[in-house]
Amino acid sequence: MGFFDSLKNFKNQIDHIESSVYNGKQSLLELYERNARLEEEIAARTKELDTANRQMLTLQHIWDMMNSSKPLSSVLNATVSSLQGELGYLHSCIAKRLVDNEGDYLQLVACSGDLFGDKFFNYFKCEPSDLRLKFPDIEALPGAIDGKKIYQSTDILNLVKRVLPNLQDDIAMNFALETKAKSFILVPLSYNHSHFGSLVVFSTRENATENELNFLNLFAKQIELAITIADLFQAVKEQAVTDGMTGLYNRRYFEEFIKKESIRSKRQNQKFTVIGIDLDHLKKINDLYGHNYGDIAIKAIAEVLKTNGRSIDVAARMGGEEFNVILPGVDSAGGLVVAERIRKAVEAVNLEKIGHITASLGVATYIEHSDDVDELLELVDHAMYESKRNGRNRVTLAKPISETSWQEVAIDTFMDILSKHRIPLDIKTSKMLTNKLQEMNINNEMLYQVSDALIKTYNPEHTQNGTKQKVQLASLLAKRFDLPKENIDKLKIAVLLYDIGNTMLPKELLGKKEPLTEEDKQSIKQHPVIAAREILEPISNVVDIIPIIEKHHENWNGTGYPNKISGENIPIESQIILIVDSYCALLENRPYRPAMSKEEALNTIKGDANNKWSEKLADEFVSIVQNELN
């Protein structure tokens, strides 16, 4: 091969290499371009997925809010805030369409918390709830609302001027220039097949994508569902806390509210007053005219409370003919003024057939009378019953808890037992005892008479002054054991009430002459439990008395009932009641034995030392009977 042939061959090889390099370069360029396009597509898909994820999170947040049973206002505010936060809108709000004598208008019921909103409301020196926005007469808007279609526009200035027509043009212009919003989107909302209002969002983008509009449409549907659920929940909640007959709050709501009010009151050191109202002579109205007219009278009291209170006051029907009213921020002086106004308004009511009605009222103030809610309500009850005892149709201010005597507590308890028929007592006896309690002043002798009469209903052999003797013996014995006055007062009340459970036992069992069967004994052993749990437990002002009564048949050696506790585990007050009751019973005739003499009874007490009671208790008791009572 010649030189030129070699040179030509070398050139061909170079051309081939250049061609390969060029072709490789084109392939690499094409590959790069494909990779670039793929990266762009991945970025776009990632952005779409991110947007979709944020949209799903927003919808999930709405769903969680709907399932939280929160008030409608809370649901809507959280909803628009999540929309603004997740999707990057400048501001989101819900405007509800309302109608009054002046025509259609819009009220903002929910706004997202953001700089746009803060600037808007600061700019126009208003709060969202204070704004009365004119329904914007934008040409295409009514058609969009009627057709439930999304409306969008870039004319922010026009919207501001339409909803606030009285706003000066320069102020509206300045706001439109300062805001970064380039468009707004309005989505109609429906509720109960009618127009509720609109979801309005302000965006930094002039045009919304189709996906964005589809999402907003779906978002609006979720808001509509949230409105429906929240409204249904509110209706159910109102039914749960409202008294069906009167439309006032019920006991359950009252008890929840007063606990919250006491916390607020302590935190702010601000008093509140409770007024108790009890319709007078309801039983008489029922007996004379029928229960329908009794209901009419109860409803009349409720109407008086509705028309004689502030919006922040809480009036509740506590049951039967009893009502309570809470007056936040009101002291006892103000409470007396309000109570007297209520009393006069009730007295002024003139009902068909019934004529005029009256009510007895009690007033007590938190912090001033007591800083314990339960004690406060007891004081209100005491004051209310005092109004009844002193002639009804009057207002009584409560005494502080320390000034309430044991006699008052006892009288109120008997009143509660009799008026609410907690024991099976014949109507004639119940009415006689109730009248005696209502007419009496605080008088020990009268109180003993009522207790004696009640005991006579199940124990015909009970002596006329038996209760007085028991209270006297118990008090003297308690002093031997240095019990404080508060405990002695509780003991006195317990002495009046400890055997009331016997009223629930069959009379033939209590009067049985032949020996009791084991079944009979078990029935009788239930009377302390009946007295404590079935009769007295619902009465708040004797809660501290119940343990004393429940354990008053427990023996020192553990053979008693109902729980077979022994020794020092038995409250001293319960031990005192047992020895006093046993001694007085020994002095009375029984179907199965005659009455014992005083000496015989004391010997029996001594003989049961360290069995039924301690030796020390027996010695102190015998000493009292032999020395202090002679």
Which CATH number goes with the domain that contains 359? 3.30.70.270
Residue 589 corresponds to which tokens in the numbers above? 């005739």
Whether residue 601 is found in the same domain as residue 613: yes
Position 464 scores a pLDDT of 58
Does residue 319 lie within any of the structural domains?
yes
Whether residue 495 is found in the same domain as residue 594: yes
Position 535 scores a pLDDT of 76
Tell whether the model's pLDDT for residue 265 goes beyond 60: yes
Map residue 514 onto helix, strand or coil: coil
Alpha carbons 451 and 493: distance in angstroms, whole number: 11
Whether residue 525 is found in the same domain as residue 392: no
Q: Summarize pLDDT for 137-179 with one digit per residue, the tens.
A: 787 788 888 888 899 999 988 888 888 888 788 888 888 777 7
Tell me how far CA of residue 144 lies from CA of 83, 477, 522, 571, in angstroms.
22, 89, 80, 79
Q: What's the pTM?
A: 0.45
For residue 273, the cross-strand partners are: 327, 365
Does residue 62 lie within any of the structural domains?
no
Does residue 616 lie within any of the structural domains?
yes
Residue at a domain's end among 404, 427, 446: 404
Packing angle, helices 291-307 and 282-289, rounded to 10: 140
Q: Summarize pLDDT for 372-410 with one digit per residue, the tens.
A: 887 898 789 878 888 887 889 999 999 876 566 788 888
Q: Which residues contact 546 (CB under 8 A, 6 or more apart)?
A: 532, 533, 536, 537
Q: Are strands 183-191 and 194-203 parallel, antiparallel or unpaired?
A: antiparallel
Residue at a domain's end among 355, 377, 404: 404
Position 440 scores a pLDDT of 55
Cβ neighbourhood burial of 515 (10 Å; 0-12, 13-18, 19+): exposed
Q: Please count the structural domains in the chain.
A: 3
Q: Which domain holds residue 201?
A: 72-239
Tell whether the model's pLDDT for residue 269 goes beyond 70: yes
Position 79 scores a pLDDT of 74
Residue 601 corresponds to which tokens in the numbers above? 């009874």
Confidence of residue 491 (pLDDT cuts 50, 70, 90): very high
Whether residue 366 is found in the same domain as residue 452: no
Whether residue 472 is found in the same domain as residue 341: no
Position 342 scores a pLDDT of 97
How many CB atoms sit inside 10 A of residue 176's CB?
16
Alpha carbons 532 and 538: distance in angstroms, whole number: 9
Whether residue 545 is found in the same domain as residue 535: yes
Alpha carbons 298 and 319: distance in angstroms, whole number: 10
Does residue 597 lie within any of the structural domains?
yes
563 in the Ramachandran plot: left (φ > 0), alpha (ψ -120 to 50) or beta? Answer: alpha
Tell whether the model's pLDDT for residue 136 goes beyond 60: yes
Does residue 40 lie within any of the structural domains?
no
Beta strands in 112-153 (DSSP E): 133-134, 151-153
List the CATH number of the domain containing 490. Answer: 1.10.3210.10
Whether residue 432 is found in the same domain as residue 483: yes
Vertex 170, ends 95 and 105: CA angle to 5°? Answer: 20
- Percent pLDDT > 90 in the chain is 26
Alpha carbons 383 and 396: distance in angstroms, whole number: 5
* Single-letter amino acid code for the residue at 131: L
Stretch 181-210: mean pLDDT:
87
Stretch 561-577: mean pLDDT:
93
Residue at a domain's end among 404, 433, 452: 404
Whether residue 413 is found in the same domain as residue 373: no
List the CATH number of the domain containing 211. Answer: 3.30.450.40
Tell whether the model's pLDDT for residue 36 goes beyond 80: no
Confidence of residue 268 (pLDDT cuts 50, 70, 90): confident
Position 529 scores a pLDDT of 66
Containing H/E element for 200?
A: strand 194-203
Position 172 scores a pLDDT of 81
CA 500 to chain centre: 33
Q: Summarize pLDDT for 340-364 with one digit per residue, the tens.
A: 999 999 999 999 999 999 999 999 9
Does residue 485 lie within any of the structural domains?
yes
Whether residue 226 is found in the same domain as residue 250: no
Tell whether the model's pLDDT for residue 333 goes beyond 80: yes
Alpha carbons 279 and 392: distance in angstroms, whole number: 9
Find out whether 175 and 145 touch, Cβ atoms under 8 Å: no
Whether residue 159 is found in the same domain as residue 263: no
Position 335 scores a pLDDT of 95
Residue 24 corresponds to which tokens in the numbers above? 């490789």
Confidence of residue 508 (pLDDT cuts 50, 70, 90): low
Confidence of residue 32 (pLDDT cuts 50, 70, 90): low
Residue with the larger pLDDT of the pair 134 and 279:
279
Whether residue 438 is found in the same domain as residue 568: yes
State residue 11 phi and psi, 5-degree precision.
-60, -40
CA 353 to chain centre: 37
Does residue 51 lie within any of the structural domains?
no
Cis peptide before 165 (omega within 30 of 0): no
Does residue 262 lie within any of the structural domains?
yes
pLDDT winner (highest mean) among 47-51, 65-69, 214-218: 214-218
Tokens 């043009």, located at residue: 169
Provide the mean pLDDT of the chain.
80
Position 19 scores a pLDDT of 64
HSE-up (13 A, CA, CB side) for residue 72: 16
Q: Summarize pLDDT for 6-15 with one digit per residue, the tens.
A: 666 766 666 6
Whether residue 485 is found in the same domain as residue 607: yes
Confidence of residue 452 (pLDDT cuts 50, 70, 90): confident
Map residue 298 onto helix, strand or coil: helix
Q: What is the dihedral of CA 63, 67, 71, 77, to 10 degrees?
A: -20
